[in-house]
Copies of this chain bind each other. A is one copy, B any other.
Amino acid sequence: MAFAESDARIAQRRTFHAYPEPSWCEFLTTSRLVDAVEAIGVDRLHVGSSALDADERVGVPDVDTLDRWRERAADRGARVDVLDATAGGTTGLVAVLDRGPGPIVGLRVDIDALPVTEADDDEHQPAAEKFRSENAGVMHACGHDAHMTIGLGVLEAVKASDFAGTFKLFFQPAEEVLGGGRPMAESGHADDIDALFAVHVGFDHPTGEIVSGVEKPLAIRQTHARFTGESAHAGAAPHEGRNAVQAMATTVQNVYGIARHADALTRVNVGRVEAGTASNVVADDAVLELEARAGTNDVLDYLTDRVDRVLEHAGAMHDCTLSTETVGRAPRVDSDDGLADIVGAVATNVPAVESVRPSAPFGASEDATYLMRRVQERGGEATYVIVGTDHPTGHHTPTFDIDEASIDIGIDVLTRAIRRTLGDDA
């Protein structure tokens, strides 16, 4: 019986895995989640634009991209009502079990995928077992397929339990671009939450290990920058060019070189660059996607000031104009010990859990912090839980994969923690 359930969950995870959608384009994913939630049955369901404050979105792709993914979803059978509710890239949903007065508890999982081309060799299980991404260049390379499956499993289990109060399940879009956390935090749905759990698999924690709260999610800012210069014939008139490639390279060399800060760790990365058209033309255009992260919000300010200074003067040095857009941002927000302790306590009761760690440093960033901060600001508590999973290679790589056994563990631990927080200690 449990085996059958696990099998179904693994099948569900693989279905999600095979059809990854990029941030703000999770049209079929949202439709499938609505189907699954409705199959379980909830008291209220907020889909798409009613699940978030659409004006707070950042990192939304252009209309052509949105349209292309929406059409593809429609072709694949996405529900018309969901496509309507998510028009223009307002993906995601909030499902609510409401049993009257009592604690209000939330769980947040994320649903988007990454611009990574999935590995295609047989050592990569999704390829060997035929559930590799069918969307070229997009991949669930960070485990959000597992997160959705865990979320649905928890919903089912909590529904089957006996509690008073409210359980809200947030399926957040656009985490990878740090774009969906803030719109959900500003939607109002999180304002009355007493206890919020967020969950992520992996991060080098093995299957059977639970981290009940994270220590230092990095504050982050992600930026798109564009240098516009002037093109010229590289042979006949090089001096007439204003070279955007040189502005770009000067930026790269110098943002990586920004001084470390004594107060907190820092990270900088220029992860994508595209510039120019052909070798015989001085490039008049360069686009950079870059980010800065820091262990504190103050040090992030330090870092972004320096990044901006580099961008400004790298452009001016090569007589290029600069435009920048912040496409993602998330603060550092720490887990509350009280809530983390509950996770730790219940986890020790789960047979498959072999190790419980009270906290671990967290080198990544997450816009779950917007939801967590919102809850904390209004008097509630929040914690970010890591469910260990054996993964052969790092997150965001073409060969990332999870140990599917960790899905049931995550469901079990979170269900217990939520039930206990709801006062149902059965």
The answer to whether the Cβ of A401 comes within 8 Å of any Cβ in the partner chain is no
Residue-wise, chain A 243-283 has the 8 Å CB interface mask toward B (1 for contact) of: 10110111011101111111101110111111111111111
A237/B254 contact (C-beta < 8 A), A273-B245, A274-B273, A279-B222 known: no
Residue-wise, chain A 346-369 has the 8 Å CB interface mask toward B (1 for contact) of: 000000000000000011110000
Given A235-B267, A276-B289, 17 other A-B residues pairs in contact with their CB atoms under 8 A: A116-B281, A176-B280, A231-B397, A232-B396, A233-B363, A236-B364, A236-B395, A238-B261, A239-B263, A249-B249, A253-B253, A271-B277, A271-B282, A272-B277, A309-B316, A309-B317, A313-B313
Distance of A260 from chain B, by nearest CB (Å)? 5
Query: CB within 8 Å of B: which residues of A?
Result: 114-116, 176, 203, 218, 220, 222-223, 231-241, 243, 245-246, 248-250, 252-254, 256-263, 265-267, 269-283, 286, 289-291, 293, 302, 309-310, 312-314, 316-319, 328, 362-365, 394-397
Chain B residues with Cβ under 8 A from A397's Cβ? 231-232
Chain B residues with Cβ under 8 A from A319's Cβ? 309
Chain B residues with Cβ under 8 A from A238's Cβ? 259-262, 267, 269
A116/B277 contact (C-beta < 8 A), A252-B245, A256-B246, A262-B236 known: yes
Q: Is the CB of A232 within 8 A of B394?
A: yes
A270/B291 contact (C-beta < 8 A), A309-B316, A363-B236, A396-B231 known: no
Chain B residues with Cβ under 8 A from A365's Cβ? 235, 280
Bound state CA distance, A243 and B267, in angstroms? Answer: 14
Chain B residues with Cβ under 8 A from A115's Cβ? 277-278
Chain B residues with Cβ under 8 A from A254's Cβ? 246, 250, 253, 317-318
Report how many copies the assembly holds: 4
Q: Is the CB of A278 within 8 A of B176?
A: yes
Nearest B residue to A249 via CB reads B252
Bound state CA distance, A363 and B314, in angstroms? Answer: 28
Bound state CA distance, A397 and B282, in angstroms? Answer: 10
3 shortest A-B CB distances, which residue pairs?
Answer: A256-B257, A236-B363, A249-B252
Distance of A162 from chain B, by nearest CB (Å)? 39
Q: Is the CB of A280 within 8 A of B275?
A: no
Q: Is the CB of A246 within 8 A of B237?
A: no
SS of A interface (majority): mixed
A235/B279 contact (C-beta < 8 A), A265-B265, A317-B254 known: no
Q: Is the CB of B363 within 8 A of A396?
A: no
A280/B291 contact (C-beta < 8 A), A235-B365, A262-B236 known: yes
Distance of A383 from chain B, by nearest CB (Å)? 19
Bound state CA distance, A271 and B276, in angstroms? Answer: 5
Distance of A11 from chain B, by nearest CB (Å)? 28
Q: Is the CB of A276 within 8 A of B276?
A: no
Q: Is the CB of A282 within 8 A of B256?
A: no
Nearest B residue to A398 via CB reads B231
Nearest B residue to A241 via CB reads B259
Bound state CA distance, A289 and B277, in angstroms? Answer: 9
Q: Is the CB of B260 within 8 A of A257?
A: no
Nearest B residue to A255 via CB reads B257
Chain B residues with Cβ under 8 A from A293's Cβ? 234-235
Distance of A25 from chain B, by nearest CB (Å)? 14
Q: Which of B250, B274, B280, B395 contacts A233 (CB 8 A)?
A: B395
Bound state CA distance, A336 and B128, in angstroms? Answer: 53
